[in-house]
A and B are shown apart, each in its own frame.
Chain A
Amino acid sequence: MTERFGGDSRVVQLCPDHARHRAADPNDQDPTLAHMLDGRAAKLASSDYHPVAIDDITERLTRLFAQNLHPAAKVSGLRRLAGGASKEQFLFTLDAPCIEGSEQLVVRMDPTDGVLETSRQREFEILEAMQGVVPVPRPRFLDHEGTWLGASGMITSFEQGSTKPPQAGAGVSGLGTGFTPQWRERLGPQFLRLMAAIHRFDFRAAGLRHFAIPDADPFQAARQRVNLWARVWREGAYAPIPGFAVVESWLRSNLPAARELVLVHGDFRTGNYLFDGDSGEITAILDWELAHVGDYHEDLAWSLVEIFGARDEQGRYLCSNLMTVEDFIGGYERETGRIVDRDTLRFYRILLSWSVVAMASSGLTAAANRHNHQDILLTWLSMVTHPLLDEITRLMLEEKAA
């Protein structure tokens, strides 16, 4: 039975299946993520976090490589990388007798708190699994416990490329990247092909140790994502938003059945891939910390979150500032042979916009507690909340897609 509320021409689908609602067990969580969130609660009483000093991290890295690679290993030229709303990132050069010449590497480390607690162990594992599947940095060293780095972290190869065309503008975290039509033509098809390649990856055969497969029932994939973001909101929200509870009720009442589980990147959008400034070839897909096994509609919906897009010269909305929504969905269907269900897509668009609100609010709490190296970025990014709430409201008030 489908129930509706709303006046005028605005209609909200509500509680189409109460049995499904009852099945929305709030305790059904991805075990690794639940463990990470348990750890976050313990950190809340920590004192102020201050960025790691260059000399300090150089010394830690030198000790790490001296004891794990070669006693004469040398770390030099370390500098902080821009961006990184959730991790401290540094680029450095490693010299050691056992490697040919020198190597440029990147270290990513957890601050006390940020927009979300994620696992370096899991990120490292998925980077290993993606070698040869899609272009990604090579994982080189994992310090999950922070034994060497002082905080959970990992070291990867440094990949050449840029997140924006030469001379183009971009906001923080890749939002608002300026592409010309020529750049869109170069990058758009690659964007689709790479997403399809990730979704073709045989995660079952890969035997990923830190990734749960939500296949207990067809609704588990969606249910665990709702539970994750509801928990992030409940434990990290900076200020209450009454509409949040209505959205949560709607999501729990409208869980879609997953047609097919895939490896979901979780943050697949412009700003999270590098490309060559001359050839336009995508050289690396970055930021895998939100990767998980789930419904393929999730990555599609993430790319459609409006703050990640822009309008073209004709005023048309372009997802990830690359292509129109219909070109994107049609292209994905052609590339993968899968059918994109508009209702499921709408569910995930609402869920993911809601998740960004939860993360933004959580980031604001981290900034208020002075628990991050980028309090200024977290307070700035928290202002994405308002366009997102507008997007959620519009989507919920839309007629259910035919």
Chain B
Amino acid sequence: MNHPDEIELQSFAEDCRQRLAGHVEALDPALQTRLAHARRAALDQGVQTSGPRAFRVPSVWLPAGVCAVAASLSIAVWISRPSPTAAPTAEAVAVEDVEFLASGEEADFYAEDTTFYEWAGSASGAG
């Protein structure tokens, strides 16, 4: 960095540095006092809130957590819904019986394979 312009710029930078340092030193006592109070307040507040802390959920994760819980609940509700292919309950069978009796269908229609059922029953009973 030997170019005259660059040397001049370096000299200018040094002048600026000295002027700014003087500006810092010239801070009036009232402002220095206020800065000291600000420092003390920051230390007091900071020390109270620092140290071993309880677990805190970062705010970034909060919406994601809410979504995850909502999704889990939805899945749980979906899974616990009664399946249409599940075995009929006692109430459902009773309703079917009433419907059968009320329909007036011929009983023979349901007794077509009586012979087969008799054979099947005797076969299983014979072991």
B is bound to A: no
Interface residues of B (CB under 8 A from A): none
Which residues from chain A sit less than 8 Å from chain B, CB to CB? none
